[in-house]
């Protein structure tokens, strides 16, 4: 619930925060988001590392829900990297067209499939330094795959995570790699993957980009950005998007 303190009063409190105070506050926010979203998870549907890798690449500039609507047909037709690498590009494009940027995405998923076939024996590697060598795969995608398919902790800095990390006062950086590094110093490594799920769920449901539902936020009392959105609980409740987004 939102506190009775004004946004200005909060701002003064957080300006004097010590490093230890920041660490404690970040970890408390993580715990509270864990209580709020006990079922938080990756909202892309997948059954193996290859499917997650492809789905994550396809999720760029579209929604997880739309990706989930299209990947069953894609994976039914091309269940392995070898299958997708050898596919007819026009047939892949036809499947991916609803996702937007379908020609570029076709090149990416077919290219990474060929690289998996030729360089990794058709298996998705479990190391970040190998994953980022694949066409269309950056640190964000690699961390999604490592955390959710290999149980290797990673921090996924997507638009939601970066926005909330700055609103929470965890970082002022906008570069994803720097955000990843700074947050990694606040939260224990073992908690990185679940932290990302919780923060992303919160960003999709309550802490929206344009009009966050501050009055309905469970971590309002810990947030320096309280007041960017409506603080009246009734008004804020109307802004909450319950999901699911998959």
For residue 167, what are its two tokens?
Answer: 């609103």
Residue length of the chain: 246
DSSP per-residue string spanning 141-160: HHHHHHHHHS--------HH
Catalytic residue among 140, 190, 221, 232: 140
Known active-site residue 221: no
Burial of 38: CB neighbours in 10 Å, binned 0-12, 13-18, 19+: exposed
Known active-site residue 158: yes
Catalytic residue among 158, 175, 190, 191: 158
Phi/psi region, residue 227 (left: phi>0; alpha: psi -120 to 50; beta: rest), is: left
Where would I find the H helices in the chain?
7-15, 19-36, 49-58, 64-77, 81-85, 89-96, 102-119, 128-131, 139-149, 159-167, 176-184, 192-205, 233-237
Burial of 1: CB neighbours in 10 Å, binned 0-12, 13-18, 19+: exposed
> Which residues are known catalytic residues?
140, 158
């Amino acid at each position: 619930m939102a506190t009775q303190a004004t946004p200005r009063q909060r701002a003064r409190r957080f300006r004097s925060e010590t490093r230890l105070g920041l660490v404690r506050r970040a970890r408390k926010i993580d715990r509270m988001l864990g209580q709020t979203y006990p079922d938080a998870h990756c909202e892309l549907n997948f059954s193996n590392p290859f499917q997650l890798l492809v789905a994550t690449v396809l999720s760029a500039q579209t929604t997880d829900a739309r990706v989930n609507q299209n990947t069953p047909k894609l994976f039914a037709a091309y269940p392995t990297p070898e299958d997708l690498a050898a596919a007819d590009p026009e047939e892949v494009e036809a499947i991916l067209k609803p996702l937007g940027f379908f020609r570029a995405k076709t090149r990416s998923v077919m290219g990474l499939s060929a690289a998996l076939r030729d360089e990794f024996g058709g298996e998705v590697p479990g190391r970040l330094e190998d994953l980022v060598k694949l066409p269309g795969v950056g640190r964000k995608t690699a961390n999604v795959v490592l955390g959710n398919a290999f149980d290797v902790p990673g921090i996924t800095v997507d638009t939601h995570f970066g926005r909330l990390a700055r609103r929470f006062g965890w970082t002022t950086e906008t570069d994803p790699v720097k955000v990843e590094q700074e947050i990694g110093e606040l939260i224990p490594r073992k908690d990185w993957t679940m932290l990302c799920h919780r923060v992303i769920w919160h960003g999709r449901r309550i802490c929206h980009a344009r009009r966050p539902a501050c009055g309905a936020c469970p971590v309002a009392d810990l947030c320096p950005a309280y007041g960017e959105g409506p603080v009246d609980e009734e008004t804020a409740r109307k802004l909450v998007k319950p999901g699911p987004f998959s």
